[in-house]
């Protein structure tokens, strides 16, 4: 049967993909003009096949549009498909199709009417919208529900293109009327459209009343599963007047828990959970919440992806209402064929549900998991055992003995993980389990991960008096002090000091050595600071040192991954959304702002007026003390950097010798050796209308940031600044448009710059991370990579706008972490399509061989990967990274007299500038 | 806010090529699918979780027959809805194209776009029923010969072993060939069982469903009756021996008017494959195969495992394609696997040295019989506790045709108001399958 059909249609649709001959466009054009309908249809199919594989067939626009006048619905659909794709590129020509749309919207066939309205809405051409209004108004009142439901969605489309038009035309009211439509699908789409408009427009256009509520509940039983999800979600936003109404709604929603579609179940759970708080009668509440358990558990029998979503949500639910699933722990035990991401989530829930009643069973399970193959899962299982011990005091003994059994297996990563959790157990139950220290110390040699090392060092320092050879053990670690990670170094420093306080006679030499390494040899400011604190404490008052270093530590509880109550409540309100899967509030990841803009320049040309408003709002919320986590952390950064900024300026102008007292001078002395970056004064107080700025580029961990010191010589305190950069070679843009200083900088008077800085009260420093933004790229040829970057800063207090430029060097922008290994390089190279490659040949560069090229490029942070010989030519490969974000791959072919440069990067706008940059380096 | 649309739907081939790409809202990030594919490909230890946020764009995906079905959205959408939708799209494509393969999708891409246009509007799911879509869709499917060699084993394929009849596109009626009037009803029970080292059952559950695939013309109303004494909800009073479901849920076409009184489902089956009822049982049941491993350490360098497997089911039943896998320690040097010489024919035991695993295959494992396997391992280094632990856990996969472990039965399947002349073929099949069937060792 299938043979006969494929013969009839001459093969299959895939044959449309195969024509790649020359003159194809011409052929297609002829076929499109063919009077034979089937031929015409086939031609349009070929065009669409080309479109699908990414070929540009926009030159056939007129020919395809000419096919629109057809009675054949199949052909019409194909043309519309084409039109939606290319309308934006040919807005003028698209107008030709308008007549057909308007005519189709009056067609006797409802399918064609709906098709016209649906397609018109998808054509995002501003000019077409005015023609859309009349057909849309008619369609919203159409007799056929299929047309009405299509029209309802179309209102949302139109709102996105031209919100004002929708409001002026009164379409919102019509949508609200459609919520009471007799057809449930129309209701569902109207709800969806209103909900989207509420979301984008920012004001509630939905307004559920008692009357609409009844309509929604009635439609809930009738409409499709997706419609049910829409309606349930809008119910979740409704505030019932009292517990009785809430109860009524819950009863109507409860049958949805038996739906086969997990999305319906999840949304029903969300409605019930959000209304449950309103119910005052405890018994009723218990009955309702008990009904949630079986459907939630049933979700765990679905496909793994559904299970994952369910588990992330259950994680929130058991934190909020632990009783619901308290007896169901067994269903969360891992199956051997669960995907790893499901296993990890199950583990989390097991820990939440573990209790004295089921701990035996849980430990048996966890012990099994700790011997599986997947390393990460094994680690988490070991950690889980420790967390059980911390959570359940009575079970701690058993947990410890399981951990000891696992240590016996001598599996490296099991051991490391066990050491880490045992450290936590010590902190939770001080002076109870120290007998196991001996066992741990037997395995010191195998520990090679920083976290495990830090843990064992902490244990040695803390319990030095119980370990016979604590000094030898620490001494052993000290041998490799310089190679250790920062965490381990800090722990070593503290542990050595602890040991010294406990056994001063034998360890004086050791402590001096470690203090020396920490304060003299290290670049890490944390380590230096801590080293100095200990040094001075030990030197001036050993008793105080004891009180500080050996003081009682607060015991800890297992709150890993436990959410703040406020965040938890927020997330429980977001059950059944991505927020509940990520465990992050929606604002943290929703960025639906930018539909790819056609006019990129618009964005770049936004001026300060817009920022001003945002800033005012932001500033007042800060003043109210409601600073969010993100702001706090950026504040923290700034404080850290303040120290560095101080130091580097001190060292740069050596005659100052540090502004503070003698003690301070001693503190700062060792740092003079390591100024990591140079800041230039870019703006004097006079140019800056009272604001003095020095700035420089810093490249930390591959992230490019602009670091700035501010001194305030103006009359008003400096609170926040807005910043904007000019278009530049690589399109650098600030990661956030404003700088909020950790604490306001009071007016520092017109006193000298140095003083203003060293008192720190009148100065502040800020590091502004940079991002790449193609919209901010300077037009080709207009800029060079070494040109200073133009900045504008606006002082939000005084309103003064200051312009300055910051000198830069290519090697500032190219990060030091651009080196790839061969395999990674190769996989990236292959992953970027050939079409994105740009290349050129330069003949005017000085004669060089690959070695010389490599040296030249290396000086600018462009890294050599590999090279091969290809006849007379030599081909070498390089990689570099721009501003820590954009990876560029390079292939250079060196031949006598010419050098060919070929660049690949996935960020297409950067390919040309990157190539030009390389060329200029080679020519230099 | 979870009434949220999707922006972009795509299907990627196993190599990462875009086979289908449908932009619903004009805000697709160029190159997004490449970023996504790299993320999926380079995640260690299997697929990453099905929801990810990369650079402010949310990617959600499922894998079907090796193909990646994904969407992007910038909104805080309902992930369950998107994932259900992806499964549904895959099902509808399969219903229309007959099979779900890269070839079938490429051949039918115009049809797929037409379907996508109807199934979502501006990123909001609309009609997704195979049946109701028929009235809006004009393209004819182009059938693809299911070629055994090319087919990628499907993850869901294990669920059924349908006759070739179940591989034809549902709208194939216009082809001229006479359509068979038939309906398939499969009662599938997937078992999760965990045995302790002593053969005792530690954890067990049945994950069951009644799956139907209808080719009935005219879409008549059906009545499907289950065991009269069926109980729903643990802790309800039940008669001895009754089937107790912990929980169940129904397809939206199912009406439950006569369910409370007569345990009868009334439904108008849509065309194509659908699951009428999902259920879950944790009450005790007779596990069809019981496994008894015992390990002896003959000396420091030799381990021996004796594994007894008993088919604990009626003699008339049999397990087919039973595969028992025994992982051996990493330090294993030589491994020999020996089947009882008096054993049933059609058995084989092979050692896979790269995977460090012995696979014991029994083509047909008759109920009431017992088979044994002896695995001898010579170690390259002296045996420790860890080495011993690495022997196991043993897992089994099998299929028991015409058997339902729970005892759930279809009492009858009637066409509601049919005359004598209308008597379609009704195929009712029972299949018990392993899902996670594991025995721990020592």
pLDDT of residue B158: 35
How far apart (Å, rounded) are the C-alpha atoms in residues A179 and A217?
11
> What is the side-by-side strand order in the sheet with B8-12?
B18-23, B8-12, B67-73, B57-64, B51-54
- A795-817 average pLDDT score: 73
Same domain for B280 and B407, yes or no, is: yes
Partners of residue A194 in chain B, C-beta under 8 Å = none
Closest partner residue to A309 (CB to CB) among B80, B109, B246 is B80
A579-593, A766-780, A822-836: range with lowest mean pLDDT: A766-780
Chain B residues whose CB is inside 8 A of the A149 CB are 126
Q: What is the share, in percent, of chain B residues with pLDDT greater than 70? A: 90
Say which CATH number the domain at A216 has. 1.25.10.10
Mean pLDDT of all residues belonging to chain A: 79
Higher pLDDT, A855 or B104: B104
Answer with the residue of higher pLDDT: B199 or A324.
Answer: A324
Q: Which of B1, B34, B124 sits opposite A199 (nearest CB)?
A: B1
Q: Which of A205, A235, A265 is the C-terminal boundary of a domain?
A: A235
Q: pLDDT, tens digit, for every residue of A171-200?
A: 999 999 999 899 999 999 999 999 999 988
Residue A254 in domain:
no
Which among A195, A260, A305 is the nearest to B249, CB-wise? A260
Q: Residue A744: which pLDDT band, with cuts at 50, 70 and 90?
A: low
pLDDT of residue A767: 61
Domain-located, residue B169? no
**CATH code: domain of residue A914:** 3.30.310.10
Cβ within 8 Å, pair B252-A589: no
* Shared domain check, B387 and B410: no
CATH code where residue A731 lies: 2.60.40.1150
In angstroms, rounded to a whole number, what is the distance separating the alpha carbons of residues B208 and B192? 11
Neighboring chain B residues of A266 at a CB cutoff of 8 Å: 78, 80
Model confidence at A596, pLDDT cuts 50, 70, 90, reads very low
Mean pLDDT, range A899-920, rounded to an integer: 80
Confidence of residue B52 (pLDDT cuts 50, 70, 90): very high
Confidence of residue A299 (pLDDT cuts 50, 70, 90): very high
- pLDDT for the residue B148: 41
**Looking at the complex, does the CB of residue A38 fall below 8 Å from at least one CB of chain B?**
no
For an interface test with A, the pick among B1, B15, B276 (most A C-beta atoms closer than 10 Å) comes out as: B1
- Does a structural domain hold residue B217? yes
Verify that B43 and B129 share a domain, yes or no.
yes
- For residue B203, list chain A residues with Cβ-Cβ distance below 8 A: 330, 333
Confidence band, pLDDT 50/70/90 cuts, at residue A657: very low
Q: Is residue A193 part of a domain?
A: yes
Locate tokens 């043979």: which residue?
A: A3
Residues A760 and A862 in one domain: no
Residue B301 near residue B378 (C-beta atoms within 8 A): yes
Chain B neighbors of A583, CB-CB under 8 A: none
Give the model confidence (pLDDT) of B377-392 as tens digits.
999 988 887 788 788 7
**pLDDT score, position B28:** 80
The reply to whether B295 and B193 lie within a common domain is no
Q: With a cut of 50, say whether residue A625 has pLDDT above it.
A: no
Would you say residue A1 has pLDDT above 50?
Answer: no
- Would the pLDDT of A752 be above 50? no
| Residues B213, B267 within the same domain | yes
Rounded to the nearest integer, the mean pLDDT of chain B is 84
Nearest neighbour of B78 by CB, restricted to A157, A333, A577: A577
State the smallest CA–CA distance between residue B77 and chain A in angstroms.
Answer: 5
Asked whether residue A146 falls in the same domain as residue A207, the answer is: yes
**Where are the alpha helices (H) located in A409-503, listed in sequence order?**
412-428, 437-441, 450-462, 470-478, 486-502
User: Which chain A residue has the Cα nearest residue B203?
Assistant: A330
Q: Do the chains contact at B81 and A263, CB–CB below 8 Å?
A: yes
Report how many domains make up chain B.
Answer: 3
A215-224, A693-702, A888-897: which is most confident: A215-224
Domain enclosing residue B341, as ranges: 289-401
What DSSP designation does B304 have? E
B2 contacts A574? CB cut-off 8 A: yes
Do residue B54 and residue B114 come from a single domain? yes
The 8-class DSSP code of residue A728 comes to B
Contacts of B4 in chain A (CB under 8 A): 196, 577
So what's the pLDDT on residue A762?
41
Say yes or no: A785 and A877 in one domain: no
**Amino acid A812: pLDDT:** 67
A182, A217, A235 - which closes a domain: A235
pLDDT digits (tens, 9 = 90+) for A96-119: 888 888 889 999 999 999 999 999
Q: Which of A882-886, A920-924, B64-68 has the lowest mean pLDDT?
A: A882-886
Of B46, B203, B438, the CB nearest to A340: B46
Asked if pLDDT for residue B137 goes beyond 70, the answer is yes
Residue B1 pLDDT > 60, yes or no?
no
A905 contacts chain B (CB < 8 A): no
Residue B297: inside a domain: yes
User: Of residues B167 and A261, which shows the higher confidence score?
Assistant: A261
- Same domain as A782, residue A912: no
Beta-carbon contacts of B228 under 8 Å, excluding residues fewer than 6 positions away, are B262, B263, B411
Task: Return the structure tokens found at B123.
Answer: 């990123």
Is B77 in Cβ contact with A578 (below 8 Å)? Answer: yes
Query: Min CA distance, B141 vs chain A (Å)?
Result: 9
Domain assignment present for residue A121? The answer is yes
Q: Tell me, yes or no, whether B415 and B351 share the same domain.
A: no
B150 pLDDT band, cuts 50/70/90, is very low
Residue B218 lies in a domain: yes
Instruction: Provide the 10 A C-beta neighbour count for residue B82.
Output: 27
Q: Are residues A762 and A884 in the same domain?
A: no
Kindly determine whether residue A410 and residue B384, on different chains, have CB atoms separated by under 8 Å: yes
Q: Mark whether B197 and B95 lie in a shared domain.
A: no
Closest to A5 in 3D by CA, of B181, B177, B102, B96: B177
Encode pLDDT of B342-373 as tens digits. Answer: 777 788 999 998 888 999 999 999 999 999 99
pLDDT tens digits for range A48-85 = 888 877 788 888 888 888 888 888 888 888 898 888 88
Residue A832 lies in a domain: yes
Indicate if the pLDDT at residue A633 is higher than 50. Answer: no
ipTM of predicted complex: 0.78
Q: For residue A701, what pLDDT is reported?
A: 58
Distance from CA of B396 to the nearest CA of A (A): 11
In a domain, A200, yes or no: yes
> What is residue A454's predicted lDDT score, i.e. its pLDDT?
92
CB-closest option in B5, B145, B249 to A258: B249
Q: Which of B78, B103, B121 sits opposite A150 (nearest CB)?
A: B121
- Assign A608 to helix, strand or coil: helix
CATH of the domain at B377: 2.60.40.1170
Average pLDDT over residues B60-83: 93
| CA max distance for chain A | 104
Binary contact (B247, A305; C-beta < 8 A):
no
Contact across the interface for B128 and A224, Cβ inside 8 Å: yes
Mean pLDDT, to the nearest integer, of B283-296? Answer: 90
Give the CB-side neighbour count of residue A88, counting CA atoms within 13 A: 13
Listed by number, the residues of chain A in 723-782 with a beta carbon closer than 8 Å to a beta carbon of chain B are none
Q: What is the pLDDT of residue A440?
A: 85
Helix (H, G, I), strand (E, B) or coil at B303: strand
Q: Between chains, do A592 and B75 touch, taking CB under 8 Å as contact?
A: yes
Across A802-816, average pLDDT:
72
Q: Domain check: are A114 and A147 in the same one?
A: yes
Residue B327: strand pairing partners? B357
Q: Is residue A337 part of a domain?
A: no
Per-window interface: A 411-430 vs B, CB < 8 A: 411
Q: Tell me: pLDDT of A346 over 90.
A: yes
Q: Nearest-5° angle of CA A375, CA A581, CA B47?
A: 40
**Is A333 within 8 Å of chain B by CB?**
yes
- The reply to whether A799 and A841 lie within a common domain is no
Mean pLDDT in residue range A725-753: 63
B342 occurs within a structural domain: yes
A805 and A861 both lie in a single domain: no
pLDDT interval class at B421 (50, 70, 90)? low
Cβ <8 Å between A118 and B28 = no
Interface of A with B in 197-226 (CB under 8 A): 199, 224-226
Q: Kindly give the interhelix angle for A171-178 and A145-161, rounded to the nearest 10 degrees.
A: 140
Residues of chain B with Cβ-Cβ distance to A258 below 8 Å are 248-250
Q: Are residues B254 and B388 in the same domain?
A: no
Gyration radius of chain A's alpha carbons: 34
Q: Closest to A340 (Cβ–Cβ): which among B45, B103, B252?
A: B45
Does residue A809 share a domain with residue A887?
no
Q: Measured between alpha carbons, how far is A825 from A863 in angstroms, rounded to an integer?
A: 11
Task: Give the domain extent around A483.
Answer: 449-551
Of the candidates A483, A485, A542, A532, the residue with the CA atom closest to the CA atom of residue A508:
A542
Tell me: do B370 and B355 sit in the same domain. yes
Lowest mean pLDDT, pick from A302-306, A417-421, A811-815, B353-357? A811-815
**DSSP track, B185-250:** EEEEEEEEEEE-TTS-EEEEEEEEEEEEEE--TT---EEEEE-TT-EESTTS---TT--EESEEEE
| Same-domain pairing of B336 and B231 | no
Inter-chain contacts counted by CB atoms under 8 A, chains A and B:
275
- The answer to whether residue B46 sits within a structural domain is yes
Q: Look at residue A376 and tell me whether its pLDDT is greater than 50.
A: yes
Taking the CA of residue A301 and the nearest CA in chain B, the distance in Å comes to: 6
Residue at which a domain ends, from B102, B133, B164: B133
CA terminus-to-terminus distance, chain A: 70
Considering the domain architecture, whether residues B18 and B114 belong to the same structural domain is answered as: yes
Cα within 13 Å of Cα(A508), Cβ side: 3
The model's pLDDT over A828-868, given as tens digits with 9 standing for 90+, comes to: 887 777 777 888 888 777 777 888 888 888 877 888 888 88
Nearest-by-Cβ selection for B278 from A260, A266, A577: A260
Residue A165 pLDDT more than 60?
Answer: yes
Identify whether B86 is part of a domain: yes
Does residue A443 surpass a pLDDT of 90? no
Question: Closest-CA residue in chain B for A330?
Answer: B203
Residues of A in contact with B111 (CB under 8 A): 13
Which chain A residue lies closest to B34 (C-alpha atoms)? A831
Show residues of chain B in contact with A9, CB under 8 Å: 140, 142
Instruction: Please indicate, yes or no, whether residues A177 and A51 belong to a single structural domain of this protein.
Output: yes
A774 versus A533: which is more confidently predicted? A533
pLDDT of the residue at A22: 52
Report CB contact under 8 Å: A74, B106: no
Based on the domain organization, do A698 and A828 belong to the same domain? no
- Per-residue pLDDT, averaged over B184-192, amounts to 93
3 state SS of A732: strand
Min mean pLDDT across A16-30, A125-139, A802-816 is at A16-30
Q: Is residue A883 part of a domain?
A: yes
Rounded to whole angstroms, the Cα distance separating A87 from A64 reads 12
Domain boundary residue, one of B99, B133, B167: B133
The confidence band for B255, taking pLDDT boundaries of 50, 70 and 90, is: confident
pLDDT range class, residue B162, cuts 50, 70, 90:
very low
A399 phi/psi in degrees, rounded to 5: -60, -45
Contact B386 A234 (CB under 8 A): no
A273: in domain: no
Q: Which among A167, A104, A160 has a CA at the least distance from the CA of A131?
A: A104
Q: Say whether B435 and A376 touch across the interface (CB within 8 A).
A: no
Same domain for A769 and A650?
Answer: yes
**Residue A541: CB atoms within 10 Å:** 12
Contacts of A577 in chain B (CB under 8 A): 1-2, 4, 76-79
Is there a domain that residue B162 lies in? Answer: no
The tally of domains found in chain A comes to 4
Find the closest chain B residue to A295 by CA distance.
B247
A266 to B80: CB separation less than 8 angstroms, yes or no: yes
Give B384's contacts in chain A (Cβ within 8 Å): 409-410
Q: Does A48 sit within 8 Å of B110, measured CB to CB?
A: yes
pLDDT tens per residue, range B197-245: 888 888 899 999 999 988 887 778 889 999 988 888 877 666 677 888 9
Examine the fold and report which residue of B133, B168, B195 is the final residue of a domain before the chain moves on: B133
B58/B6 Cα distance (integer angstroms): 9
For position A401, what pLDDT does the model report? 93
**Chain B residues with CB-CB distance to A111 below 8 A:** 136
**Separation of alpha carbons B279 and B254, rounded Å:** 14
């Amino acid at each position: 049967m299938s043979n006969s059909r494929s013969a009839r249609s001459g093969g299959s649709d895939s044959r449309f993909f195969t024509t790649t001959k020359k003159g194809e466009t011409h052929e297609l054009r002829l076929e499109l003009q063919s009077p034979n309908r089937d031929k015409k249809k086939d031609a349009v199919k070929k065009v669409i096949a080309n479109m699908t594989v990414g070929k540009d067939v926009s030159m056939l626009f007129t020919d395809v549009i000419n096919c629109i006048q057809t009675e054949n619905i199949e052909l019409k659909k194909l043309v519309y498909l084409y039109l939606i794709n290319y309308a934006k590129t040919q807005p003028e020509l698209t107008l030709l199709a308008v007549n057909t749309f308007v005519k189709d919207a009056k067609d006797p066939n409802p399918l064609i009417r709906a098709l016209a309205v649906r397609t018109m809405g998808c054509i995002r051409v501003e000019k077409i919208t005015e023609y859309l209004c009349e057909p849309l108004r008619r369609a919203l009142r159409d007799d056929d529900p299929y047309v009405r439901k299509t029209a309802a969605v179309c209102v949302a489309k139109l709102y996105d293109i031209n919100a004002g038009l929708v409001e002026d035309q009164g379409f919102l009211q019509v949508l609200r009327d459609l919520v009471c439509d007799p057809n449930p699908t129309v209701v569902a789409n109207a709800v969806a459209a209103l909900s989207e408009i509420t979301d984008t427009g920012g004001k509630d256009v939905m307004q559920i009343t008692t009357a609409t509520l009844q309509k929604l509940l009635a439609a809930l039983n009738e409409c499709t599963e997706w419609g049910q999800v829409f309606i349930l979600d809008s119910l979740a936003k409704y505030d019932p007047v009292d517990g009785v109404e809430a109860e009524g709604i819950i009863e109507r929603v409860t049958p949805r828990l038996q739906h086969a579609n997990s999305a319906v179940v999840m949304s029903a759970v969300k409605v019930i959970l959000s209304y449950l708080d309103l119910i005052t009668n405890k018994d009723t509440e218990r009955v309702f919440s008990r009904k949630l358990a079986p459907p939630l558990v049933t979700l765990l029998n679905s496909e793994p992806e559904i299970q994952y979503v369910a588990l992330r949500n259950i994680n929130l639910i058991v934190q909020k209402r632990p009783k619901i699933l308290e007896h169901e722990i067994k269903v969360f035990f891992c199956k051997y064929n669960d995907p790893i991401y499901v296993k990890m989530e199950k583990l989390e829930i097991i820990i939440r549900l573990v209790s004295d009643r089921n701990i035996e069973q849980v430990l048996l399970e966890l012990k099994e998991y700790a011997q599986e193959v997947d390393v990460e899962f094994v680690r988490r299982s070991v950690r889980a055992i420790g967390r059980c011990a911390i959570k359940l005091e009575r079970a701690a003994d058993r947990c410890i003995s399981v951990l000891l059994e696992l240590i016996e297996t001598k599996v490296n990563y099991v051991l490391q993980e066990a050491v880490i959790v045992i450290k936590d157990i010590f902190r939770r139950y001080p002076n109870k389990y120290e007998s196991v220290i001996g066992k741990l110390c037997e395995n010191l040699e195998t520990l090679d991960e920083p976290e495990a090392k830090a843990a064992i060092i902490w244990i040695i320092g803390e319990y030095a008096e119980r370990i016979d050879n604590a000094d030898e053990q620490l001494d052993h670690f000290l041998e490799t002090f310089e190679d250790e990670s920062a965490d381990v170094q800090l722990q070593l420093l503290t542990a050595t000091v602890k040991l010294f306080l406990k056994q001063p006679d034998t360890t004086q030499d050791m402590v001096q050595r470690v203090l020396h390494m920490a304060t003299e040899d290290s670049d890490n400011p944390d380590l230096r600071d801590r080293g100095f604190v200990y040094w001075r404490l030990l030197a001036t008052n050993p008793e105080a040192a004891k009180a500080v270093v050996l003081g009682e530590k607060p015991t800890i509880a297992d709150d890993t991954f436990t959410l703040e109550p406020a965040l938890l409540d927020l997330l429980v309100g977001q059950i059944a959304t991505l927020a509940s899967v990520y465990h992050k509030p929606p604002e943290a990841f929703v960025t639906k702002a930018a539909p790819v803009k056609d006019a990129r320049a618009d964005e770049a040309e936004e001026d300060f007026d817009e920022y001003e408003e945002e800033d005012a709002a932001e500033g007042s919320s800060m003043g109210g003390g409601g600073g969010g986590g993100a702001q706090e952390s950026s504040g923290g950064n700034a404080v850290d950097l303040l120290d560095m900024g101080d130091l580097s300026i001190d060292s740069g102008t050596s005659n100052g010798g540090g502004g503070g007292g003698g003690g301070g001078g001693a503190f700062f002395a060792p740092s003079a050796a390591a100024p990591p970056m140079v800041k230039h004064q870019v703006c004097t107080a006079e140019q800056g209308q009272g604001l003095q700025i020095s700035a420089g580029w810093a490249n930390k961990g591959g992230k490019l940031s602009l670091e700035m010191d501010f001194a305030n010589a103006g009359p008003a305190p400096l609170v926040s600044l807005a910043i904007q950069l000019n278009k530049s070679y690589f399109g650098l843009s600030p990661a956030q448009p404003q700088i909020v200083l950790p604490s306001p900088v009071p007016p520092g008077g017109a006193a000298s710059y140095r003083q203003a800085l060293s008192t720190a009260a009148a100065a502040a420093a800020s590091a502004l991370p940079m991002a790449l933004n193609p919209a901010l790229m300077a037009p080709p040829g207009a800029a060079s990579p070494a040109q200073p970057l133009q900045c504008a800063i606006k002082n939000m207090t005084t309103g003064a706008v200051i312009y300055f430029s910051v000198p830069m060097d290519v090697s500032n922008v190219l990060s030091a972490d651009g080196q790839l290994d061969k395999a990674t390089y190769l996989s990236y190279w292959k992953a970027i399509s050939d079409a994105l490659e740009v290349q050129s040949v330069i003949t005017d560069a000085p004669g060089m061989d690959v070695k010389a090229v490599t040296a030249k490029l290396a000086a600018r942070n462009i890294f050599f990967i590999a090279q091969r010989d290809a006849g007379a030519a030599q081909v070498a490969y390089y990689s570099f990274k721009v501003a820590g974000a954009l990876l560029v791959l390079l292939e250079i072919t060196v031949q006598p007299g010419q050098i060919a440069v070929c660049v690949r990067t996935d960020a297409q706008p950067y390919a040309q500038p990157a190539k030009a940059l390389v060329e200029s380096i080679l020519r230099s | 806010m979870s009434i949220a649309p999707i922006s972009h739907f795509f299907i990627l081939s196993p190599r990462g090529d875009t086979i289908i790409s449908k932009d619903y809202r004009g805000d697709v990030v160029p190159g997004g699918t490449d970023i996504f594919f790299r993320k999926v490909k380079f995640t260690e230890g299997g697929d990453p979780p099905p929801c990810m946020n990369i650079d402010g764009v949310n990617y959600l995906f499922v894998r079907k027959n090796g193909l990646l079905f994904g969407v992007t959205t910038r909104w805080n959408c309902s992930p369950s809805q998107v994932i259900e939708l992806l499964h549904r799209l895959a099902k509808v494509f399969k219903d229309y194209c007959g099979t779900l393969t890269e070839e079938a999708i490429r051949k039918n891409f115009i049809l797929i776009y037409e379907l996508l246009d109807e199934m979502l509007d501006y990123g909001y799911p609309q009609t997704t029923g195979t049946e109701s879509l028929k009235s809006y869709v004009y393209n004819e499917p182009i059938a693809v010969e299911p070629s055994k060699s090319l087919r990628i084993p499907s993850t869901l394929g294990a669920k059924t072993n349908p006759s070739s009849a179940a591989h034809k596109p549902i709208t194939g009626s216009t082809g001229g060939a006479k359509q068979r009037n038939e309906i398939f009803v499969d009662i599938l029970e997937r078992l999760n069982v965990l045995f302790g080292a002593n053969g005792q059952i530690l954890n067990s559950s049945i994950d069951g469903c009644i799956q139907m695939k209808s080719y009935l013309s005219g879409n008549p109303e059906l009545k499907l009756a289950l065991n009269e004494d069926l109980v729903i909800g643990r802790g309800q009073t039940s008669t001895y021996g009754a089937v107790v479901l912990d929980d169940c849920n129904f397809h939206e076409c199912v009406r439950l008017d006569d369910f409370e009184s007569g345990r009868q489902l009334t439904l108008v089956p849509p065309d194509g494959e659908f699951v009428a009822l999902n259920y879950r049982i944790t009450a005790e049941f007779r596990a069809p195969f019981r496994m008894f491993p015992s390990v002896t350490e003959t000396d420091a360098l030799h381990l021996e495992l004796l594994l007894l497997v008993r088919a604990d089911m009626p003699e008339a039943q049999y397990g087919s394609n039973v595969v028992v896998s025994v992982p051996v320690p990493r330090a294993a040097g030589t491994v020999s696997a020996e089947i009882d010489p008096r054993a049933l024919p059609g058995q084989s035991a092979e050692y896979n040295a790269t995977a460090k695993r012995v696979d014991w295959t029994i083509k047909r494992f008759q109920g009431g019989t017992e088979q044994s396997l002896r695995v001898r391992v010579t170690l390259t280094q002296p045996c420790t506790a860890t080495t011993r632990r690495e022997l196991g856990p043993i897992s089994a996969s099998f299929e028991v045709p015409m058997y339902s472990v729970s005892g759930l039965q279809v009492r009858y399947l009637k066409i509601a108001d049919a005359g004598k002349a209308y008597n379609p073929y009704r195929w009712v099949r029972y299949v018990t399958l392993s899902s996670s069937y594991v025995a721990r060792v020592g």
